[in-house]
RNA sequence: GGAACGGUGGCAGAGUGGACAAAUGCAUCCGCCUUGAAAGCGGAAGGCCCAAAAGGCCCGGGGGUUCGAAUCCCUUCCGUUCCGCCA
């Protein structure tokens, strides 16, 4: 959520920020929020005034009774009853306006960072690092899509995954399954120097999914378990962000660095029929997420740290990659500044997004109500949240199969993964 | 799923219709004392709305009773214990 006070006191600043996102209907939403806010404050002021009168009268009733003046007390009680009715009416009205305002505010996206590049679509995203590790050319045996290689090696069985669960589910077998798990272990071990490992729940409440920004606007993208009013997480970012929801932390507790392996569930509404082969897009996949909860002034450095860590993992695997800075027109709702890490897959001849590292300023913390108490300072500040995929398994898995395919059709296992694959150096035909 | 008991400030915990934003203890901060620290003594200090003052709100959430609710009633969520079931 953006700060309603900022919108109220400097609407032109917020309007300019929303302009940068290149979504014309946002301005109308801002005006709508502004109107509701003005109305709400009028009602609240009046409600408080009436309540004040009720409180005063009640005190007088008490003392009159003590003094034995029952008639005087009766008169005041009648007055107070009327005022009470009026206060109740105003209170009901304020609740209504407040929830309408909240609904609008929950849909207004975050303000972009000043340094985020302007743009209207993903075409305006900028390559900021790389390409690195990119050979000048690929031999023909590396121009094979991973699903073909995987089938030859017997390590991917999507046909049966579909039988079991329906379209867009994948299933790895043998060393393919081992490779998927190895990638997670590798990503966790590489960050354990600074990050606490969490194994979060994969099913979360509506409030939790609202905190990170998926709800209320993007409900169609998530799986819901209606009977129990729970949602399947689309990323570990969701439970990690809410770990400290509703809490007030001391400033010396920050930054907090957390990481988690989790399965991720996405309905991929609107993507039916796209990337149906192989491992590029599925309803369920594994990912290791790294997350930081920080003081505002710590956030810029942490953004670089998270990005560097994601980069190092990919780089150490020996995969060709580049880093893209996302432009304002391609931002997700909660983004303040954001980078994608892409890996080149020669078999598909495309760059695959394998990681996304983002800074959300206080947008998510405001929704989750994560605050910081600084010293003896009066009041509290909202924390900042940042996160990034350390490693998203399926596309890295695919990129490994395409980049390290040998002439005989086997795949060389990157050396950093071998300890996690019982020493296996290659994946060969059965 | 059934039963019982609970949910109050950073934590622990008192308060069962009015003077309660709420005792007390621990933790925190400032001062005194001390070479320094501890102990001791004195003092400060909850969150939220509003630009702020005034004012209002906040004792898990919601609703009700009442002139007035932390306190009574209903409901819901969460926790603990016991029973049942279960990886």
- Spans of all domains in chain A: 4-107, 122-427
**From the alpha carbon of A247, which nucleotide's C1' atom is closest?**
B10
Question: Is A311's pLDDT higher than 80?
Answer: yes
Q: Is the CB of A63 under 7 A from strand B?
A: yes
User: In Å, what is the separation between the CA of A374 and the C1' of B36?
Assistant: 28
- Find the Å distance, CA of residue A366 to C1' of nucleotide B54: 29
- Domain A4-107 matches domain A122-427 at the CATH topology level: no
A376 CB less than 7 Å from any atom of strand B: yes
What average pLDDT is seen over chain A? 90
Q: How do residues A381-414 score in pLDDT, each as one tens digit? A: 888 999 999 999 999 999 999 999 999 999 999 9
The pTM assigned to this predicted structure is 0.91
CA dist A208 → A227, A229, A244, A392 (Å): 17, 12, 11, 22
Q: Is the CB of A373 under 7 A from strand B?
A: yes
**Distance (Å, whole) CA A142 – CA A279:** 17
Using CA atoms, how far apart are residues A288 and A196, in angstroms rounded to an integer? 12
Q: Which two tokens stand for residue A270?
A: 């609107």
Q: What is the CATH code of the structural domain delimited by A122-427? A: 3.30.930.10
Cis peptide before A299 (omega within 30 of 0): no
The rounded distance, in Å, linking the Cα atoms of A169 and A162 is 6
ipTM over 0.90: no
Q: Give the per-residue pLDDT at A273.
A: 65
Q: Indicate if CB(A371) is under 7 A from strand B.
A: yes
Partner residues linked to A287 by β-bridges: A262, A392
Query: For chain A, what is the largest distance between any 2 Cα atoms, rounded to a whole number of angstroms?
Result: 104
Mean pLDDT of A277-298: 92
Query: Which of A311, A16, A268, A278 is CA-nearest to residue A146?
Result: A278
Q: Which residues pair with A291 in a beta bridge?
A: A258, A387
Q: How far apart are CA A404 and CA A426, in angstroms?
A: 10
| pLDDT tens track for A88-112 | 888 888 888 888 888 888 889 999 9
CA–C1' span, A20 to B44, in Å?
47
Q: Which CATH architecture has domain A4-107?
A: Orthogonal Bundle (1.10)
């Amino acid at each position: 959520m953006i700060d309603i006070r900022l919108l109220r006191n400097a609407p032109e600043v917020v309007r300019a920020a929303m302009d940068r996102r290149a979504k014309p209907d946002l301005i109308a939403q801002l005006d709508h929020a502004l109107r509701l806010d003005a109305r709400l404050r009028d009602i609240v002021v009046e409600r408080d005034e009436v309540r004040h009168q009720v409180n005063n009268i009640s005190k007088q009733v008490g003392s009159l009774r003590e003094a034995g003046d029952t008639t005087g007390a009766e008169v005041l009680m009648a007055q107070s009853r009327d005022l009470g009715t009026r206060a109740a009416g105003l209170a009901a009205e304020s609740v209504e306006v407040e929830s309408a305002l909240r609904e609008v505010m929950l849909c207004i996206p975050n303000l972009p960072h000043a340094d985020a590049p302007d743009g209207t679509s993903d075409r305006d995203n900028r390559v900021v690092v790389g390409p690195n590790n990119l050979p000048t050319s690929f031999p023909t045996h590396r121009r094979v899509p991973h699903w073909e290689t995987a089938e030859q090696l017997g390590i991917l069985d999507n046909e049966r995954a579909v039988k079991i669960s329906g379209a867009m589910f994948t299933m790895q077998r043998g060393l393919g399954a081992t490779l998927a798990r190895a990638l997670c272990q590798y990503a966790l071990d590489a960050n354990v120097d600074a990050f606490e490992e969490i194994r979060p729940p994969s099913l979360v409440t509506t409030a939790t999914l609202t905190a990170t920004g998926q709800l209320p606007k993007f409900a169609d993208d998530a799986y819901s378990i209606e009977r129990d009013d729970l949602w399947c997480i689309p990323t570990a970012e969701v439970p990690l962000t809410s770990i400290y929801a509703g809490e007030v932390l001391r400033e010396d507790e920050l930054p907090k660095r957390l990481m988690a392996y989790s399965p991720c569930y996405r309905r991929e509404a609107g993507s039916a029929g796209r990337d149906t082969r192989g491992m590029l897009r599925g309803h369920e996949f594994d990912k290791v997420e790294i997350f930081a909860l920080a003081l505002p002034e710590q956030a810029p450095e942490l953004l670089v740290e998270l990005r560097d860590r994601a980069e190092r993992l990919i780089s150490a695997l020996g995969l060709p990659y580049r880093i893209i800075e996302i432009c304002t027109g391609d931002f997700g709702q909660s983004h303040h500044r954001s980078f994608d890490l892409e890996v080149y897959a020669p078999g598909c001849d495309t760059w695959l997004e394998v990681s996304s590292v983002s800074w959300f300023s206080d947008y998510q913390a405001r929704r989750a109500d994560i605050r910081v108490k600084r010293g003896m300072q009066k009041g509290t500040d909202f924390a900042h949240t940042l996160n990034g995929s350390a490693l998203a398994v399926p596309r890295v898995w695919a990129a490994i199969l395409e980049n390290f395919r040998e002439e005989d059709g086997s795949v060389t296992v990157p050396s950093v993964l071998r300890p996690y694959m019982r020493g296996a150096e290659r994946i060969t035909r059965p």
